[in-house]
């Protein structure tokens, strides 16, 4: 985590219920008649103690936003959620309509609230918008050179035309997701896609641009990628020009019950 975060207890509010102690994965608390005590700050700052306290007696410093009270609107309808998951398609046809900064911010907010291993919160985002054409130009130039070699060894590449919009398909914005942990970045991307869909946006995981960014020193530099960061994936976002009428079929999963 980037900032220092300190867990504190307001003894005037604490009722010694012990819920923070029971739910703490780091065994941070001891409970007495005088209230809960914090034994160490050596925890992952997951916030479970703040979330579970019935009297709002626990707080963690160092965050810009305050915890929100849970309400009914935060619950997702099962049928609607499954429908949204089934209805998603990789979109490759976009209108030139702009995606507002507010919507982009909400999509990134969905990524920010996605769980991360050990609550490390090391996922970061690069929004390609004003200079998206320049990033695509660099990637196209690289892939056109690579394709000459790939065509010799990989037959399926021979029918692929790397045009000027090969990576972003004319979409107005893309978000490159970086992290020190590939799983954390992938989880954030998946949640962000759901938020983008809720805004009626089409989404494409541009695996080709992600690969180009990993290969290109110039792209990594422009994306301010540090030596310990990995470029996880790229979400291409825009309003779609096509409308799908039904879900696509999937094979049954392989499941083992032990």
Residues 67/51, Cβ–Cβ less than 8 Å? yes
The answer on pLDDT for 185 being more than 70 is: yes
Evaluate the CA torsion angle 212, 215, 218, 222 in order and state its sign: positive
- Please give the radius of gyration of the chain, using alpha carbons only, rounded to the nearest integer: 23
Predicted pLDDT of residue 147? 79
Across 161-179, average pLDDT: 96
Residues 60-102 have pLDDT tens digits of: 999 999 999 999 999 999 999 999 999 999 999 999 999 999 9
Mind listing the domains of the chain with CATH numbers?
A: 7-60 (3.30.70.20), 76-238 (3.40.109.10)
Predicted pLDDT of residue 168? 98
> What is the number of other CB atoms lying within 10 angstroms of the CB of residue 174?
23
The answer on pLDDT for 3 being more than 90 is: no
């Amino acid at each position: 985590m980037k900032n220092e975060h300190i867990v504190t207890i307001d003894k005037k509010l604490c009722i010694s219920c012990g819920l923070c102690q029971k739910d703490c994965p780091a065994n941070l608390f001891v409970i007495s008649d005088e209230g809960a005590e914090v034994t160490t700050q050596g925890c992952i700052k997951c916030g479970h103690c703040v979330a579970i306290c019935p009297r709002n007696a626990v707080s963690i410093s160092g965050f810009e936003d305050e915890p929100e009270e849970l309400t009914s609107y935060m619950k997702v309808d099962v049928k609607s959620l499954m429908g949204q998951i089934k209805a998603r398609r990789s979109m490759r046809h976009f209108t030139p309509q702009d995606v507002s900064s507010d919507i982009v911010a909400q999509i990134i907010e969905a990524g920010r609230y996605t769980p991360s291993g050990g609550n490390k919160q090391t996922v970061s985002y690069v929004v390609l918008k004003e200079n998206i054409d320049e990033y695509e130009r660099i990637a196209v130039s690289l892939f056109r050179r690579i394709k000459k070699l790939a065509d010799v060894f990989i037959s399926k590449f021979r029918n692929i035309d790397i045009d000027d919009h090969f990576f972003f398909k004319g979409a107005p914005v893309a978000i490159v997701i970086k992290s020190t942990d590939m799983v954390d970045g992938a989880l954030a991307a998946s949640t962000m896609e759901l938020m983008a869909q809720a805004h009626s946006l089409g989404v494409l995981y541009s695996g080709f641009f992600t690969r180009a960014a990993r290969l290109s020193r110039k792209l990594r530099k422009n994306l301010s990628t540090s030596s310990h960061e990995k470029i996880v994936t790229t979400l291409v976002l825009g309003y779609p020009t096509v409308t799908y009428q039904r879900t696509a079929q999937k094979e049954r999963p392989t499941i083992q019950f032990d």
